[in-house]
Structure 1
Amino acid sequence: MTKSLLFIASLLFILTSCKEGSVDKTERSGEPDVYNVEDDNAKMNQAMVNAKNSIDEFKNALASDNPSFEYFTIKQKFNADGGAEHIWVGDIQLIDNDFMGIVANEPVYTSEVKLGDTITVNSANISDWMYYDDGEVVGGYTIRVIRDALSPEEQAQFDAENGLLFK
């Protein structure tokens, strides 16, 4: 569990969670920044649709017990004052066709969950998923939207700081 939580903490240097309805960045002392994305952002909304439409790929990979696959995480939308907050849930397990995991980010806007809570993921509120396949990111649709908006230099820095390899 600790290894996965450390991975998620380092992974989310740029995108810890998203709050719908705004465009600014929330900086937190000792925590990764949170980038707020407008709820009508077409690229982000399409990324969330793509994630939902491909959740079976994630489920099959999780159930495969492939030793090359690791760090399974799901991003879930939670209600927050004035909108919603999307938070990563790590250490994902599939139990009776439900995803269960541990809240891996310190919430900024929602009081529905807190860091370290064990939850059953609400499938209707999944906004992203990802895992590593031999060190390469699979999924991570919303992360890719943020990453794609960076300059090539910023992308290289982001990848190096977080150990990310994108296919």
Structure 2
Amino acid sequence: MQKFAMLLAIALAAPVAAHAQSQPTPKTTPRPAHDRIVDVAKGDPEMQAAIAKARAELPGFFARSAAPQSGDSYFLVKYNLTPQGTAEFIWAEVIAHKGDTTIARLINNPRAPGFAKGQQVTVRNADIIDWGYVKNGVMQGNYTTRILLPHMAPAEAAALRRAYGW
């Protein structure tokens, strides 16, 4: 059965310190030396449903990111960094969005050569599989991460739930 890698959103805790001074963010968790990757079977029905839900709600996400409400911060998108090769789904923080294009900054440490954490990327809306943002300290969206939680060690999943206010 073919698999593809999903970079786990545990890396979202890494940039928290930069945001914590002025905006509410998820509670921090110890930062691993590398980003956690969870492999999921290609076509997994739960993951496909999570992706469909995120894509259906994408217009609302971009409307919210364009006009954040009090307590909103840290707007993210998840997309396939390497669509021509083995899939590597990765999170990036939204810098700007216009039309069907998002300019974002990678927040995970990519496996793929030629990419680096912090690198600015251009992402087409059609390539986005998930989104998330923090609302009053609680992570919103992040549907693919929610599907990955049962595939993690219980302590790791519990730490992530606490970090995201779930």
**Counterparts of residues 86-165 of structure 1 (less than 5 Å):** 86-95=89-98, 98-108=101-111, 110-111=112-113, 113-148=115-150, 155-160=157-162, 163-165=163-165
The total of aligned residue pairs comes to 144
Q: CA shift at 1:38, angstroms?
A: 1.0
Distance of aligned partners of 1:63 and 1:33 in 2 relative to their CA distance in 1, 3 Å threshold = same
2 CA distance for matches of 1:5 and 1:30? 11
| CA root-mean-square deviation | 3.0
Counterpart-to-counterpart distance in 2, 1:122 and 1:55: 12
Once residues 56 and 114 of structure 2 are traced to their aligned partners in structure 1, the CA distance between those partners, rounded to angstroms, is 25
What is the distance in 1 between the residues matched to 2:103 and 2:15?
A: 18
Q: 1:19 aligns to what?
A: none
Counterpart in 2 of 1:6? Answer: 15
Read off the aligned partner of 1:6 and give its amino acid letter: P
C-alpha displacement of 1:117: 1.4
- Counterpart CA distance in 1 for 2:63 and 2:51 is 19
1:37 to 30, 35, 40: 40
Structure 1 gap segments, 5+ residues each: 14-28
TM-score normalised by the chain length of structure 1: 0.72
1:4 & 1:67 partners in 2: Cα distance?
21
Q: Which has the higher contact order (CA 8 A, sep 6+)?
A: 2
Q: Specify whether residues 96 and 57 from structure 1 end up closer, same or farther in structure 2 by C-alpha distance, changes over 3 A only.
A: closer
C-alpha distance in structure 2 between counterparts of 1:119 and 1:151, whole Å: 32
CA distance in 2, matches of 1:94, 1:81: 24
In 1, the alpha carbon distance for the partners of 2:13 and 2:70 equals: 15
**What is the aligned partner in structure 1 of residue 5 from structure 2?**
none
CA contact (8 A) 1:78 1:125 kept: no
The aligned counterpart of 2:52 is: 49
Q: Distance in 2 between matches of 1:118 and 1:77?
A: 15
Q: C-alpha distance in 1, partners of 2:102/2:14?
A: 17
Aligned to 2:36, the other structure's residue is in SS state strand
**Distance across 1 between alignment mates of 2:156 and 2:110:** 26
